[in-house]
Amino acid sequence: MTPSPHRASRSLSLEPGGLPSRQARIANRVIRTTMRTLWAAAPNNDAGLRTVRWAAARLPSVVPPGVKIVPESFGLFSGEWVRAGKINDNQVFLYLHGGGYFFGSPKTYRSLSWRLSAATRRAVLMVDYRLVPEHTPADALADALVAYEALLARGFEPNNIVVGGDSAGGHLALALLHTLKERGLPQPSAAVVISPWADISCAAESHQLNERTDHLIPAAKLAWLGKKYLEVDGALDAPITGDYRGLPRLMLISSGSEILRDDARTVARLAADAGIEVVHHEWEGLVHVFPVFADFIPEGKAAFRHIADFLRRS
């Protein structure tokens, strides 16, 4: 399969390749003037990272009545189970949130987790992995591996497990798949990654080309983070250089206007070249990780339908 983004008619809305909705355009402006501005103004040091984390933790996290949230402890880190509507408890979606490896939590991602559970009819396990600057991305990978092995130990069959994540969590999900392969552990049935920060070095052309059109991420800030992480852990390149043979089928969701556009395209190409089934939906003019903002962006809601359709095609 040639890993080219899915293109629908330009006249269609709420589909990959369609023009962004009015709600999406308004959300883009709001996110740019608030979240992107805050991150851009934060200093390039640990205090700056903690400031952004503090602000992100105060974003509202409202779920509809009937959504069940149960905390989970894994010792060094925690997580939470999210169940929305009628689900199959034998099937699970292990999700790794984004946030540049330094912010984000299951609580801040509840607008995504409950929709993911409702759409896929699976229990969603959101991992609250350890964060920078107190820890490292290597610690986050260790936590993701522990959570995955815990699912196996509890009797979940690999073909009933899906792994996913967005942004840094997308990098983490891909790194987890490569780690499972290296250790000879069974792969999940599929992986779904949204706007993955696959290349920690930020070397892709879109990091410069889309700096002005990315409504959430200041390119210079992400490049500084990547350099900081690579100085501590030089083994973060598996998602962009690794061998994808033997990994599960893969769905990627991204935006053509974000700086991580080429990261998703490269992962799609690498996976397809390895003979893996790849579905890549590249949407136009939407904010980075737009499904997180599904409360305000209708394309975000539509993305969950596409994810559910992909997982049903076993």
| pLDDT tens per residue across span 99-115 | 999 999 999 999 999 99
Q: Quick one: residue 116, left, alpha or beta (phi over 0 = left, psi -120 to 50 = alpha)?
A: alpha
Is 167 marked active-site? yes
Q: What angle do CA 162, 122, 303 make, to 5 degrees?
A: 75
Residue 256, domain member (yes or no): yes
Residue 219, domain member (yes or no): yes
> Which of 2-11, 113-122, 147-156 has the lowest average pLDDT?
2-11
Cα–Cα distance measured from residue 19 to residue 206, given in angstroms and rounded to the nearest whole number: 20
Statement: residue 60 has pLDDT above 90:
no
Active-site residue, selected from the candidate residues 207, 215, 281, 288: 288
Residue 1, domain member (yes or no): no
Residue that has been written with the tokens 């060094």 in this structure: 76
Cα–Cα distance measured from residue 163 to residue 118, given in angstroms and rounded to the nearest whole number: 16
Residue 155, domain member (yes or no): yes
Domain that holds residue 231: 22-312
**Which structure tokens are listed for 206?**
């879109």
Residues in the chain: 314
Q: Is 185 in contact with 177 (CB distance < 8 Å)?
A: no
| Torsion angle defined by CA atoms of residues 241, 247, 250 and 252, in that order, rounded to the nearest 10 degrees | -20
Cα–Cα distance measured from residue 226 to residue 171, given in angstroms and rounded to the nearest whole number: 12
Beta bridge partners of 78: 73, 128
Residue 212, domain member (yes or no): yes
Residue 164, domain member (yes or no): yes
Residue 275, domain member (yes or no): yes
Residue 16, domain member (yes or no): no
Question: Into how many domains does the chain fold?
Answer: 1
* pLDDT 10s digits, 215-240: 999 999 999 999 999 998 878 999 99
- pTM of the predicted model as reported, rounded to 2 decimal places: 0.94
Active-site residue, selected from the candidate residues 258, 282, 284, 299: 258
The pairing of strands 78-83 and 68-73 is antiparallel
The pLDDT of residue 135:
97
Cα–Cα distance measured from residue 222 to residue 197, given in angstroms and rounded to the nearest whole number: 9
CA atoms within 13 A on the CB side of 68: 11
Q: Is 293 in contact with 280 (CB distance < 8 Å)?
A: no
Active-site residue, selected from the candidate residues 167, 195, 206, 257: 167
CA torsion sign, 181 to 240 to 249 to 116?
A: positive
Is 78 marked active-site? no
Cα–Cα distance measured from residue 261 to residue 254, given in angstroms and rounded to the nearest whole number: 6
The pLDDT of residue 15:
84
The pLDDT of residue 13:
58
Q: Is 304 in contact with 291 (CB distance < 8 Å)?
A: yes
Q: What's the CATH number where 185 sits? A: 3.40.50.1820
The pairing of strands 78-83 and 122-128 is antiparallel
Once rounded to an integer, what is the mean pLDDT over residues 29-34?
A: 96
